[in-house]
Amino acid sequence: MRFARAFFIFWVAIRFGLDEFASSNTLLRAIRAIIRAVFFSRRLDQPRGERLRLALQTLGPIFVKFGQVLSTRRDLIPLDIADELAYLQDRVEPFDSILVRDILNQEFDENVDQVFREINLTPVASASVAQVHFGELTDGREVAIKILRPNIRNTIKRDLALLDLVAFFLQRLLPDGRRLKPREVVGEFRRHLEDELDLMREAANASQLRRNFEDSPLLVVPEVYWDFCRTNVMVMERMSGIPVSKLDELKANNIDLEQLAASGVEIFFTQVFRDGFFHADMHPGNILVQTDGRYVALDFGIVGALNEVDKNYLAQNFLAFFRRDYRGVAQAHVDAGWVPKDTRIDDFEATIRSICEPIFDKPLKEISFGRLLLNLFQAARRFNVEIQPQLVMLQKTLLNIEGLGRELDPNLDLWKTAKPYLENWMSEQIGINGFIKNIKKEAPLWTAMLPRLPRLIDAFLTQGAAGQEDELKAEIDLLKHRVKWLTRGLVAITVIGTLAIFLYVVAQ
């Protein structure tokens, strides 16, 4: 079976001319010459990116999903291919409706009729990993039921093994193999799929996002009905709304598209900087709009998370960027360790300026974030910038926001819309309110760790017990981080207090 699948993949690759991607290697060039001689009648009229997209669609849903992930790695693949792969959609043939009841009966111990009063066996959405049906619980609540495809785990395991094998040979044979890191890309893809194969994890993601935006005037998230969720089945509140891509219908319902676009930007920055937890698959197929103008988020299989350090450096970069402070952008990269410490700041600053300056004072319709990201990644390679894995999801989400904004309001000024929000967020983080919030947050940890400080220092200086050096060093680094914040807070209080006393004396 695996040999037959491998042969089918090889045949599809030849049919769509994917052998041309290997033309830079001597051995593969020879193989390609043989292929061209044997299959001389094939016609390859389409561009290479389009042929790759069609090949992935022919190979099936797992390869389509892989192409979607690959389209976000503009640091690794050419722009024309990334743009073409971005068109891939999870429009997959649904599985047999008879299997729907079989799966539900298995998950609910043959008591499916005691859970659901009604189930529509025709799916409303069918993707590579799961499909969604509408139904009604016995208590009358209307629900959406997400069901994993039968035998999907075995299918994924088989195709991932073949993908990893192909990636292994590409990494060994292509001149750019080490830089492109194809096996790491496959590994990243595997992690995404593992998340999506556990619908309890997706239910938890939805629940977290709903809690973050409870009573929000901007975003609605469906309620998860935990009593009916399983690893293979997720049951949630059925949501209604207008697909965000249907602009005529939105206008007919008197929805302000300009405000809708601005709200999308605010939702994005709120998720990233306030919560550090964001929906990372916000393409139009996962977004509805209610008649009151609020967004409805769907499909929570892919989310991203950022820690406080990531958020702080991102905010510094965004703000410096919005203010055209390119030296600040360059310095933030050095401070974060994303570029080597010996990088010449003036050279890095000049490169960033040459990339970013041309896009300012332009509406969204005149800006290509794809081109901007490509140029930034080319500069990143020149200066040995380490691409942060946790930011790849953010890049994907930003591209989704760009596409959504371009559809809703081509004249949207992304910079003017986002800048006030970021400035307010930064003032809350580094001002007196931020200091007080951090003190409250850190106080319990300080209470627990301070008594241990003498023992930790003594153990660290004497190298500690065998095998504990890394643990001790981590605790010492954490203490150093807290001391740094405490010092900053004391300095801020001292400055503010001195200024208050000075103003009081002057007033007298």
Which residues, in sequence order, are CB contacts of 420 under 8 Å at separation 6+?
none
* Per-residue model confidence as pLDDT tens digits over 211-230: 999 989 999 999 999 999 99
C-alpha closest to that of 52 among 74, 78, 25, 30: 78
The alpha helices in 389-468, defined as continuous H runs, are: 389-408, 414-430, 432-449, 453-461
Q: What is the pLDDT of residue 176?
A: 58
Residue 117's SS3 state is strand
| DSSP codes joined into one string, 469-502 | HHHHHHHHHHHHHHHHHHHHHHHHHHHHHHHHHH
Query: What would the two tokens of residue 29 be?
Result: 């060039």
Compute CA distances 503 → 64, 431, 432, 498, whole Å.
66, 19, 18, 9
Q: How many CB atoms lie within 10 A of CB 144?
A: 19
CA dihedral (134, 136, 137, 138) in degrees, to 10, reads -150
Report DSSP state, residue 291. T
Coil/strand/helix, residue 285: helix
First to last CA, the chain: 90
The per-residue pLDDT for 118 is: 94
Which residues, at least 6 apart from 50, have a Cβ–Cβ distance to it below 8 Å?
A: 84
**CA atoms of 101 and 78, how far apart (whole Å):** 45
Q: Write out the DSSP string of 228-265.
A: G--SSEEEEE----EETT-HHHHHHTT--HHHHHHHHH
Query: Where do the structural domains in the chain lie, given as residue ranges?
Result: 1-89, 93-126+129-238, 241-430, 432-507
Strand 142-148 with 219-220, pairing: unpaired
For 198: left if phi > 0, alpha if psi spans -120 to 50, otherwise beta; the answer is beta
- Residue 246 tokens, joined: 């249907």
For 443, other C-beta atoms within 10 Å of its C-beta total: 10
Residues whose CB falls within 8 Å of the CB of residue 276, separated by 6 or more in sequence, listed in order:
305, 306, 307, 308, 310, 311
CA distances 423 to 211, 459, 471, Å, are 25, 43, 37
**Per DSSP, which regions of 105-189 are E strands?**
116-119, 125-126, 130-137, 142-148
Checking 225-232 for CB contacts under 8 A at 24+ apart, the result is 225/137, 225/141, 225/143, 228/108, 228/115, 228/137, 228/143, 229/199, 229/200, 229/203, 230/107, 230/199, 230/200, 231/148, 231/198, 231/199, 231/200, 232/103, 232/107, 232/147, 232/148, 232/199
The closest of 462, 410, 375, 291 to 75, measured between CA atoms, is 375
Element (DSSP H or E) covering residue 304: strand 303-305
- Helix ranges (H only) for 75-124 are 79-85, 97-107, 112-115
CA distances from 131 to 106, 184, 200, 431 (A): 17, 28, 15, 47
Residue (of 453, 451, 454, 455) closest to 478 by Cα position = 453
Judge whether 492 and 432 are in contact, CB under 8 Å: yes
- For residue 137, list its beta bridge partners: 116
Q: Give the integer Cα–Cα distance in Å for 440 and 461.
A: 31
pLDDT in tens, 21-63: 655 555 556 666 666 655 656 666 778 888 888 888 888 777 8
Report the residue count for the chain.
Answer: 508
> For residue 405, what are the contacts with CB-CB under 8 A and spacing of at least 6?
261, 264, 265, 364, 412, 414
281 included as an active-site residue: yes
Q: Which residue out of 19, 281, 299, 409 is catalytically annotated?
A: 281
* Angle, alpha carbons 277-278-282 (nearest 5°): 170
pLDDT of residue 504: 47
Per-residue pLDDT of the chain (508 residues; tens, 9 = 90+): 567 777 787 778 777 776 666 555 555 566 666 666 556 566 667 788 888 888 888 887 778 877 877 776 665 677 778 778 877 766 678 888 889 989 999 999 878 889 999 999 999 988 878 999 999 999 999 999 999 999 888 888 888 887 788 777 767 766 555 656 677 777 777 777 777 889 999 999 999 999 999 989 999 999 999 999 999 999 999 999 999 888 999 999 999 998 998 898 889 888 988 888 988 877 777 899 999 999 999 989 888 888 877 777 777 777 777 778 888 888 877 777 777 778 888 888 898 888 888 777 676 667 665 566 556 666 766 777 665 655 666 766 777 777 777 778 877 776 677 777 777 777 776 656 655 666 666 666 666 666 766 766 666 666 554 455 566 566 666 666 666 665 655 555 555 555 555 444 445 5
* Backbone φ and ψ of 456, nearest 5°: -65, -45
Is residue 170 within 8 A of residue 177, CB to CB? The reply is yes
pLDDT of residue 208: 96
